[in-house]
């Protein structure tokens, strides 16, 4: 799946400011903010992924009113698909003269057919309104601040999570589980025992974990929740209840969530169903090997293998070979925050949009509150997502200057960046790690916390602050 995005704006010179210096200054400021976003686009994407105006549309980019760029995003629904089984979306984002302060981005889109099969083209046209609606909702919610990156992130997420249902069974969605899923005769008094393996990019949120436990209790399901990066949920119970659990769960905000494996078995009655359960409780763990070993012991190796997209009857890999995906982290020093509350709010919202974990802590040297605090920000997730946060951070107006005017962050510095030694999912309460009332901390506690999360790399990086 390729998604192509056009971004266009209009020159400030075409705006009639009637000689009012306040309006003129505001327009200059808006133009500068739009240009900062466009600079981000140019930095974030290759030349063949971004262009200005009508290039590739037959116009050669000659429209003098266009001063922005057009970004093309290429995303595959399935690497095994032939060229005739791929389709492209062209998403156009227009920056009006009042954007971002008073107006939202304007969105439109179409489908690029290329050599795609007629079936997939029809699916793409049916899906386009849903894609545009999802993007417009994000754009409308962010009036007053830069929305370009948030909209592009929403479009990327939609391609991964929603498009497969329109495309009709893409392998990145619910890949068929060979030998596990079968048609079951539901006639008579028999009931259907179902099992599901649900894969997520990560499971960290305490609220989601609590809600999953409540859902499992409500539907009388047993199994495992493996928290951290990646996240897994294995369910067992009435097949209809397994479906209901997933339907409820998928309504929450996820970076990536998909059913990778299914098993269905007809049993004579509900009493026999209980005797056929392989998982006695619904248990939360942070060790993938524990889940793998349990599945091996109870004869569900094939179900666990679907977490690795293994659907054939190949030799079962040792559980130790299936480690948690490496967690990438960046530790950033922020020299100051003139508008600290708004600054932290921007960080929280951005990390929530991109779906990474955020830590904000500060301490006062020698407990002297008359001095400027030492501020550190930790960002954790996959490499691509953390890099996206840093790019957006550098190109957005996150603070105000001495005159109270929104400004770019020029004095942030990345102290440490790279794979973390361990998965810190159980080390910290991520729901409150960046809350305003949890920011202040002593230097000693900060060193202990950062050392436990980022290891020697982070600890050494903050020693001299």
Q: Which of 321, 356, 371 is the last residue of a domain?
A: 321
Are 411 and 334 in contact, with CB atoms under 8 Å apart?
yes
Spatial CA neighbour of 412 closest among 367, 457, 357, 346: 346
Same domain, residue pair 306 and 332: no
Same domain, residue pair 134 and 261: no
CA distance 321 to 175: 22
CA distance 372 to 364: 7
CA distance 212 to 149: 30
The pLDDT value given to residue 125: 82
Are 186 and 39 in contact, with CB atoms under 8 Å apart?
no
Same domain, residue pair 304 and 389: no
The pLDDT value given to residue 287: 83
What do you get for the CA distance between the two ends of the chain, in Å? 46
CA distance 374 to 429: 21
* 439 in any annotated domain: yes
* 172 in any annotated domain: no
255: domain range?
A: 191-321
* 173 in any annotated domain: no
Long-range contacts, 172-178 (Cβ 8 Å, 24+): 172/77, 172/78, 172/258, 173/258, 174/258, 174/259, 174/260, 175/260, 175/306, 175/309, 175/311, 176/311, 177/260, 177/261, 177/262, 177/263, 177/303, 177/306, 177/311, 178/311, 178/312, 178/313
* 182 in any annotated domain: no
* 433 in any annotated domain: yes
Q: What is the DSSP string of 105-149?
A: PEEEEEEE-TT--HHHHHHHHHHHHHHHHHHHHHHHHTTTS--HH
Same domain, residue pair 201 and 108: no
Q: Which of 270, 299, 321 is the last residue of a domain?
A: 321
Strands 106-112 and 70-74: unpaired
Q: How far is CA 44 from the centre of its chain?
A: 17
The tens-digit pLDDT sequence of the chain (465 residues) is 555 555 444 333 333 344 455 556 777 778 888 777 776 666 555 565 555 554 333 333 333 222 333 333 443 444 344 545 667 787 788 888 888 888 888 888 878 765 556 777 788 888 888 888 888 888 888 888 888 777 877 887 788 778 877 776 433 333 333 334 443 444 445 788 899 999 887 888 888 888 999 999 999 999 999 988 788 999 999 988 998 899 888 888 776 788 888 888 888 877 788 888 999 999 999 888 889 889 989 998 888 888 876 655 444 444 444 444 567 889 999 999 999 999 999 998 888 777 788 999 999 988 888 888 999 999 988 788 888 899 889 888 899 888 888 888 888 899 999 888 766 655 566 767 788 888 999 999 989 888 888 888 898 888 888
Name the H helices within 364-442.
Answer: 383-394
What is the CATH number for 301? 3.30.70.100
Q: Which of 288, 321, 354 is the last residue of a domain?
A: 321
Its pTM stands at 0.47
Same domain, residue pair 342 and 450: yes
Same domain, residue pair 162 and 259: no
When divided into structural domains, the chain yields a total of 3
Same domain, residue pair 195 and 314: yes
CA distance 341 to 192: 53
Helix (H) or strand (E) holding 94: strand 88-95
* 180 in any annotated domain: no
CA distance 181 to 165: 18
Same domain, residue pair 252 and 303: yes
Q: Write the CA distances from 131 to 79, 88, 111, 158, 426, integer angstroms.
A: 22, 12, 11, 7, 35
The pLDDT value given to residue 197: 92
Same domain, residue pair 213 and 244: yes
* 147 in any annotated domain: yes
* 340 in any annotated domain: yes
Same domain, residue pair 360 and 303: no
Same domain, residue pair 9 and 138: yes
Q: How far is CA 392 from the centre of its chain?
A: 14
Same domain, residue pair 335 and 418: yes
């Amino acid at each position: 799946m390729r998604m192509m995005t056009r971004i266009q704006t209009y020159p400030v010179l075409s705006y009639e400011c009637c000689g009012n210096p306040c309006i003129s200054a505001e327009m200059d400021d808006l133009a500068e903010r739009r240009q900062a976003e466009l600079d981000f686009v140019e930095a974030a994407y290759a030349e063949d992924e971004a262009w200005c105006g009508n290039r590739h549309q037959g116009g050669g980019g000659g429209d003098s009113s266009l001063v922005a760029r057009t970004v093309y995003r290429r995303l595959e629904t399935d690497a095994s698909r032939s060229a005739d089984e791929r389709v492209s979306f062209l998403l156009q984002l227009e920056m009006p003269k009042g954007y971002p302060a008073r107006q939202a981005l304007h969105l439109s889109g179409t489908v690029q057919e290329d050599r795609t099969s007629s079936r997939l083209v029809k699916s793409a046209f049916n899906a386009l309104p849903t894609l545009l609606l999802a993007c417009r909702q994000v754009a409308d919610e962010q009036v007053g601040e830069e929305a370009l990156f948030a909209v592009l992130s929403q479009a990327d997420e939609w391609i991964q999570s929603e498009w497969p249902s329109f495309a009709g069974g893409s392998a990145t969605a619910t890949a068929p589980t060979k030998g596990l899923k079968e048609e079951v005769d539901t006639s008579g008094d028999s009931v259907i025992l179902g099992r599901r393996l649900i894969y997520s990019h990560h499971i960290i949120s305490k609220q989601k974990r609590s809600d999953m436990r409540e859902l499992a209790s409500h539907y009388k399901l047993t199994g495992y929740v493996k928290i951290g990066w990646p996240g897994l949920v294995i369910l067992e119970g009435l097949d209809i209840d397994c479906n209901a659990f997933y339907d409820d769960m998928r309504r929450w905000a996820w970076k990536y969530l998909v059913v990778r494996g299914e098993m269905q078995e007809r049993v004579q009655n509900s009493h026999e169903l209980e005797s056929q359960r392989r998982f006695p409780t619904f248990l939360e763990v942070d060790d993938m090997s524990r889940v793998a070993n349990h599945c091996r012991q109870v004869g569900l190796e094939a179900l666990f293998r679907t977490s690795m997209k293994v659907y054939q009857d190949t030799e079962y890999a040792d559980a130790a070979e299936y480690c948690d995906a490496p967690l990438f982290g960046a530790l950033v020093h922020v020299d100051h925050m003139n508008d600290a509350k708004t600054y932290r709010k921007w960080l929280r919202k951005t990390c929530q949009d991109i779906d990474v974990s955020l830590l904000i802590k500060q301490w006062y040297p020698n407990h002297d509150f008359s001095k400027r605090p030492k501020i550190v920000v930790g960002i954790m997730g996959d490499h691509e997502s953390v890099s996206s946060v840093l790019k957006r951070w550098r190109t957005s107006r996150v603070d105000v200057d001495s005159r109270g005017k929104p400004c770019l962050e020029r004095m942030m510095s990345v102290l440490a960046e790279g794979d973390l030694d361990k998965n810190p999912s159980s080390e910290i309460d991520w729901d409150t790690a960046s809350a305003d009332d949890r920011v202040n901390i002593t230097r000693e506690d900060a060193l202990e916390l950062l050392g436990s999360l980022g290891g020697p790399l982070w600890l050494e990086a903050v020693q001299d602050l």
